[in-house]
A and B are shown apart, each in its own frame.
Chain A
């Protein structure tokens, strides 16, 4: 970061953006995440609200993460095609968050606005057990929030929902305008 822009006002902005060397154990993250879920649960009254809260927190994470990743992994180059941004998420984002790539990326048969990212065992869900009465709760809503923020801030407005299907499935639904624009780009 150029010091002439920050003029020493913020030491934080002058630090380099290299990958952090410290590595944090999975159980530290799992314990932290379980507290996050418990805290959100104490302030809501329904499963959908809980998932919405988790998604909101995920969005904060995603927004901060996007800038760092784009600068680091792609040298600041911006994706313009839907498939490329999805591959970026499946490979780079997943690898930097979880240490491995997402299991599968699929497109829906009948609707070209919908894509699926499928994971057999999501890291965030590994240590969360869901009681019977809340069986629709899927804490991967947090991951969904991260993805939604990354897509929206990259110029691909979309909605991400999470389902129990073949493990954990994140359903990404792009806005009409995004798909239309993508088609127009391909036609050129």
Chain B
């Protein structure tokens, strides 16, 4: 008595392979739902920014392992190489975009990532009462967390944001110091 329409595709191959890419809409909309929920829970934008940064940090800590496992990049020799790897390999692998690396400071410890398009903000518009919200702050946390796990302390900030009227999105990354602590127990 039950009607059944059964169309199994090669779903096993699809899900088992973790480098499979899917359409960015689900990702964009999930991030949007998350930010909306955070805005409802925390009344002010500063709190939301901090929460996004914290969550990004947690993601970054795990993302770096996934990244190192899937790309066979070895150790970077200096900060310039790190910048190139982040822009050309990591962003491409996870978000499908390739930002450009510019505006190196004279000391070589600060640079900017310019993103022409940002998949996180595909359908997004910031209303007037949330003008201090840094919508993509998750990215800052991710970069900070991931680099901390490879012994680099960095400071990551948004300088320009398309949601707030600028032409491009610019993230400024500054190298603070090399972390010399012991690796956590269980490594090596």
Closest to B3 in A: A107
User: Which segment, of A26-34, A73-81, A157-165, faces chain B?
Assistant: A26-34
Q: Is the beta-carbon distance between A22 and B22 smaller than 8 angstroms?
A: no
User: Interface majority SS on A: helix, strand, loop or mixed?
Assistant: helix
Q: Known contacts being A22-B117, A23-B96, A36-B30, is A12 close to B125, with CB within 8 Å?
A: yes
Q: Which of B9, B15, B18, B70 contacts A121 (CB 8 A)?
A: B15
Q: Known contacts being A20-B122, A33-B30, is A123 close to B24, with CB within 8 Å?
A: no
User: Which segment, of B58-66, B100-108, B173-181, faces chain A?
Assistant: B58-66
Closest to B125 in A: A12
Tell me, yes or no, whether B72 is within 8 Å of chain A by CB.
no
Closest to B21 in A: A23
List residues of chain A with CB within 8 A of the CB of B41: 43
> Bound state CA distance, A35 and B96, in angstroms?
21
> Bound state CA distance, A120 and B12, in angstroms?
9
List residues of chain B with CB within 8 A of the CB of A65: 25, 29
List residues of chain B with CB within 8 A of the CB of A35: 34, 55, 58-59
> Bound state CA distance, A20 and B1, in angstroms?
42
What's the A-B contact tally at a CB cutoff of 8 Å? Answer: 156
- A-side interface size class: 35 or more
User: In the complex, which residues 33-87 of chain B have their Cβ closer than 8 Å to any Cβ of chain A?
Assistant: 33-34, 36-38, 41, 51, 55, 58-59, 62-63, 66, 70
Q: Which of B4, B22, B31, B123 contacts A26 (CB 8 A)?
A: B22
Determine how close the nearest CB of chain A comes to the CB of B115; give it in whole angstroms: 11
Q: Which of A20, A33, A39 contacts B23 (CB 8 A)?
A: A20
Q: Which of B7, B15, B124, B138 contacts A123 (CB 8 A)?
A: B15
List residues of chain A with CB within 8 A of the CB of B11: 100, 103, 119-121
Q: List chain A positions with a Cβ less than 8 A from chain B.
A: 10, 12, 19-20, 22-29, 31-36, 38-39, 43, 56-58, 60-61, 64-65, 68, 87, 90, 96-101, 103-109, 119-121, 123, 126, 142
28 contacts between A and B (CB under 8 A): A12-B123, A20-B119, A22-B117, A23-B21, A24-B27, A24-B96, A24-B119, A25-B95, A25-B96, A26-B21, A27-B70, A31-B62, A32-B31, A32-B34, A35-B58, A38-B55, A39-B55, A57-B30, A61-B29, A90-B5, A96-B23, A106-B2, A106-B3, A106-B4, A120-B12, A121-B12, A123-B15, A123-B22
